[in-house]
Structure 1
Amino acid sequence: MLDSDIYVMIDGDTQCDTSILPRAIAHLHSNQLDMLNIARSKSDSAHYRIGHSFGNKLLSTTAALFFGKQFNDMLSGYRIFSRAFVKSFPAQSKGFEIETELSVFALQQNLRVDEIEASYKPRPQGSFSKLHTFKDGFKILFMIFQLLFTERPLLVFGFLSALCFVISLIVGVDIYLEFLETSRVARYPTLFVCVGVGVIGVVLGVAGMLAHLVVRGNRESRRIAYLNHKKID
């Protein structure tokens, strides 16, 4: 892999404004950032398809809801990274989902990130976008939920566990009140379902805690890798 102090990722459609690179790199260095996201300027929205713009905003908001920081343009393919970021980033995706993975990695590792705007040029005549609004949009959404499971399992399994307990409680209270009145259980199948759902809730809760410990260990390993390269820098 190419070794460098900084890495620039840029879309190959010639729409990104490269004249801001010196200023952007200086911003990265002066603020000791690990990732600088270069968002497409809102004033150039005419060069950005409406469907893509809406999908970007929706997906950015969804990611912010689960992972904590709102990027104005989470799907921007124009970014600058520190050496430590690149060397510790465990890339998995191969398509347009990479932007989401980069953003979530930075947030989950508590790395220093920032966002600036740059102008967005019209697409060259005769060229077309490889991004399919719905197909790639669903892939990115799937990536967000996949990362939610792999990076925040306690939240996911905790929610499912709580949901099971609520269902079990609602059904169980009715059976218990009926038992107090009649001194017998008339609906054994319902009771079995109630107990079964409660047991599933316990299993999900334990699974969430175990997965959380594994994720925390992985996060610490990534942090150590990041700090090792940070020392070299």
Structure 2
Amino acid sequence: MKFNKEEVCILIPTLNEGPTIGGVVREFKALGYNHILVMDGRSTDNTVKVAREAGANVRTQSGKGKGNAIIEAFEVIEQPYILMLDGDGTYSARDAEKMLTPLFLGFDQVIGDRLINAEEGAFSRMNLFGNHMLNMLFKIAHSRDLHDILSGYRAFTKLAIHQMHLKEKGFEIETEISVEAVRNGHRIMVVPVKYSRRPGTATKLSPFHDGMKIVSTIYRLARVNNPMFYFGMMGLFTTLLGLLTGLYVLLEWLQPGHIEHIPLTILTVLLIVVGIEIFMFGVISDMLLVFHREIIREIQLLQPPKPPK
């Protein structure tokens, strides 16, 4: 399917991508994409100079972090379709048409799945395992399998972006985008893309530190998207803690010359009761969320169809 490339903005958030950004911009230029926005995070190398010489429009973000760069860029882009990718040369411009075509067919967002066609050596075993575990956690927490929630290669309609309320400042932004897309009921397509080894710059992602922040984001955002999971996990943990303290009290009581741990017994009862109450709060919240979504759906069905342009 042919589409108007003048309606597409290529968004590239950067930070010290001097060795690769020029090639990335030129590759898109050669394919006919003229609207290329590089949102730079105050690089200390020649990223800005190289990007401008290659033909990109370069802006410097006011805040810090990849999330801030993307949020600020979304506010200034005027084109109705946006293709976002990293500037480190790991993604290929040749996959752009594959990423954008679903948007012109009515989809709201497209995610490029790196995990299927990754070049050998592009992921360490630890990173690949971590990606699969995070995707599994997301599927459990948000009831949607998006295959690669951490992919930096994404395409959006401008309308879909306006429906998302993004706040994350760092690398958790891709996770938040995935959660917001699910929460808003966006039509999402996942397509396989090529993912290459980083050709010239070191990764800025800390596997353990950033991995834990992503886990925290997946769980924290489940509060409004899947309260049964959010409060259920909290209630389960509290109840299990109460059962463990109760087991300790029971074992001590069964010993010859037993010791009565009255304070621990009271704590056990409180933990179990509170855990069950938190779990039940999750059940009630989930019922309210289902009811809310049903009301929204009914309102949308009652709205008259928009007249053709």
Three-state SS of the structure 2 residue aligned to 1:36 is strand
Amino acid at match of 2:146: F
Q: Rate the CA distance shift 1:25–1:165 in 2: closer, same or farther, 3 A.
A: closer
Higher relative contact order (CA 8 A, sep 6+): 1
Offset from partner CA, 1:135-177 (integer Å, 9 cap, x none)? 1111111111111234323333245446767868xx7xxx9xx
Q: Rate the CA distance shift 1:136–1:195 in 2: closer, same or farther, 3 A.
A: closer
1:88 paired residue number:
163
Q: 1:11 and 2:79 equivalent?
A: no
Worse-matched range after superposition: 195-204 or 84-93: 195-204
Native 8 Å contact 2:99 2:154 kept in 1: no
User: Of 48, 53, 60, which aligns to 2:135?
Assistant: 60
- Structure 2: gaps (5+ residues): 1-74, 251-259
User: Of 76, 96, 104, which aligns to 1:21?
Assistant: 96
Output the CA distance in 1 between the equivalents of 2:173 and 2:291: 23
> Across the two proteins, how many residue pairs are aligned to each other?
217
Amino acid at match of 1:101: E
Three-state SS of the structure 2 residue aligned to 1:91 is coil
Amino acid at match of 2:208: F
Native 8 Å contact 2:219 2:230 kept in 1: no
Output the CA distance in 2 between the equivalents of 1:117 and 1:100: 18
Worse-matched range after superposition: 141-150 or 94-103: 141-150
Aligned positions of 1:164-179 closer than 5 A = none
2:217 paired residue number:
143
Q: Rate the CA distance shift 1:42–1:99 in 2: closer, same or farther, 3 A.
A: same
Q: 1:123 and 2:198 equivalent?
A: yes
So what's the TM-score if we normalise by structure 1? 0.72
Q: CA deviation at 1:111?
A: 1.4
Output the CA distance in 1 between the equivalents of 2:197 and 2:263: 64
Three-state SS of the structure 1 residue aligned to 2:197 is coil
**Structure with the higher fraction of residues in helix conformation:** 1
2:207 paired residue number:
133
Output the CA distance in 2 between the equivalents of 1:91 and 1:45: 31
Native 8 Å contact 1:109 1:219 kept in 2: no
Q: CA deviation at 1:78?
A: 0.4
Offset from partner CA, 1:154-202 (integer Å, 9 cap, x none)? 333245446767868xx7xxx9xxxxxxxxxx99767744653454246
Q: Rate the CA distance shift 1:46–1:109 in 2: closer, same or farther, 3 A.
A: same
1:179 paired residue number:
none
**Structure with the higher fraction of residues in strand conformation:** 2
So what's the TM-score if we normalise by structure 2? 0.57
Three-state SS of the structure 1 residue aligned to 2:120 is helix
For the aligned residue pairs, the C-alpha RMSD in angstroms reads 3.9
Q: CA deviation at 1:99?
A: 1.0
Output the CA distance in 2 between the equivalents of 1:158 and 1:112: 28
Q: 1:107 and 2:182 equivalent?
A: yes
Offset from partner CA, 1:104-134 (integer Å, 9 cap, x none)? 2212222110111122233223x21111211
> Identical aligned pairs, as a percentage?
26
Native 8 Å contact 1:47 1:120 kept in 2: no
